[in-house]
Amino acid sequence: MSQDEPRTGYLELLKTNRNFRRLWIGTLISQLGDWFNTIALYQLINTLTGSPLAMGGVFLFKLLPWALISPFAGILVDRFNRRQVMIVSDILRAIVVLGFLWIDSADQVPLIYLLITLQVVIGAVFLPAKSASIPNITAPKDLLTANAISSATWSIMLALGAGLGGIATEVIGTDGVFIIDSLTYIVSAFFIYRTVIPQTTDEKPRSGFMQSSYKSIVEGWSYLRKNPPIGRIALAKASWAVGGGATVYMLTLLGPEITPGAEATGIGTLFFARGLGTGIGPIIARSLFKDQRVWPAVLGLSIIISGLFYATIGFNQWPLWVISAVVLAHAASGANWVLATVLLQQRSADRLRGRVFATEWLFVLFMESVSILVASLLLEAGIFELADAFIVFASLQVLCGGVWMFTVVPAEKREKENES
């Protein structure tokens, strides 16, 4: 995109691009239900077990199955109709989340993990399908605007869903929240059904599914390895996740300390702050950094800034400051997320874009899983107090940002110099 080419405004894009608007509305509604569901699950685990490790299990079972299925999800997204894949995913998830209605005792916690796994596995294709579809329904000059809208929507729904979900869980109980989540998937499927999404798909394989899947996965990984400008950017979010996975998980343990006696409200408040930050960050980045040549450096600085603000929580747990620090930390991480997504969309071929995003998610989810597992084990064993854990993992995040600045940024600069 030319630096002088005017970008479409947020409202203008939603008004004039019917297909993007329908995709946006569908995902907006399901995301709201997802965050209602997530806060209810945190509250349910806290109530049934009160264990940091059990809480970590919720995060891990939301992440590890997704990581394992991601390579195959990318194949589905590239080989089959992305619109149909998203619709089927929504309908099946609407059925699965109703299973949480049968959970009422601590000995059923394994069933919670099973249902989470099913929900995640079914929905693992949705996000790469959505990310891969946006370039197919928007003009190149609108990519940043479309992704900023998508990120802001995710953030607003996180803020509203977490904030209202915490209150709703206290008022109507977890069962009512799970029913609401199921209904939002049905509404999402309806809007996506009315969306037209053109795409370039892979040719139908002549060999069996597993053999052709293996070849497709290898092709996707080879594509990243042979195209360093794409492979590097695919690691941006994972670099944040090395420490960021643990710090986000620890918000669920910090929430009850913020609002004693109203655990769901405390957790919801902190996740509301997270959503507010991730909504603000991309808007600021879009306004300040119009020259894409500086984006790789912005990605690294965003990781560092996010870690620095999370580190302050360990030194100062005054509620008002904690909320502010979470907002600012995730404003930085939100900028990292959107700028990395746009760069990947621009640099990746359409027929391989699903595998690129699925592989990126594999990196992110693996690093988040390791980060959360280590943090939950350390906290469960009493090796770290919560405040100390925030400092340690936030410092690790800052370190990862520094490594990015000293490795990726020079490589990007050399690439640009070779092109000129």
**What pLDDT is recorded for position 145?**
85
Give a yes or no: residue 203 inside a domain: no
Residue 215: per-residue pLDDT? 65
Q: What is the pLDDT of residue 342?
A: 87
In 3-state terms, what secondary structure has residue 385?
coil
DSSP assignments along 302-336, one per residue? HHHHHHHHHHHHHH---HHHHHHHHHHHHHHHHHH
Q: Which region holds residue 192: left if phi is over 0, alpha if psi is between -120 and 50, else beta?
A: alpha
Q: How many residues does the chain have?
A: 420
**Is residue 5 domain-resident?**
no
Cβ-based burial of 260 (10 A; exposed 0-12, middle 13-18, buried ≥19): exposed
Which of 274, 397, 284 lies closest to 328 in space, CA to CA? 274
Q: Cα dist. 111→44, 101, 175 in Å?
A: 13, 11, 15
Could you tell me the two tokens for 208? 């069996």
Residue 3, in any domain of the structure: no
Rounded to whole angstroms, what are the CA distances from 418 to 211, 273, 291?
A: 38, 42, 18
* Whether 154 contacts 32, CB under 8 Å: no
The answer to whether 323 touches 269, Cβ cutoff 8 Å, is yes
- Please say whether the dihedral angle defined by the alpha carbons of residues 109, 112, 118 and 124, taken in this order, is positive or negative: negative
pTM comes to: 0.73
Full residue range of the structural domain in which residue 346 is found: 10-197+208-419
The pLDDT value recorded for residue 78 is 76
- Structure confidence at residue 126 (pLDDT): 84
Tally Cβ neighbours within 10 Å of residue 236.
27
Per-residue pLDDT of 264-284, as tens digits, reads: 788 888 988 988 898 888 888
Residues lower than pLDDT 50 in the chain: 1-4, 209
Torsion on CA atoms 202, 69, 162, 237, rounded to nearest 10: -70
Backbone dihedral region for residue 173 (phi beyond 0: left; psi -120 to 50: alpha; all else: beta): left
Which among 411, 136, 157, 156 has a CA at the least distance from the CA of 300? 411
The CATH number assigned to the domain holding 226 equals: 1.20.1250.20
- Among 83, 90, 87, 84, which Cα is nearest to 197's? 83
The tens digit of pLDDT for each residue in 332-389 reads 999 998 899 889 888 888 777 777 877 787 788 889 989 999 999 999 988 999 999 9
In the numeric block, the tokens 């709201």 are attached to 32
Cα dist. 204→40, 81, 184, 209 in Å? 42, 12, 33, 10
The answer as to whether 278 is a domain residue is yes
Give Cβ neighbours of residue 287 (< 8 Å, ≥ 6 apart). Answer: none
Based on the structure, what is the number of domains in the chain?
A: 1
Nearest to 132 by CA among 354, 337, 363, 338: 354
Terminal Cα-to-Cα distance of the chain (whole angstroms):
16
Torsion of CA 284, 286, 291, 295, to 10 degrees: 80
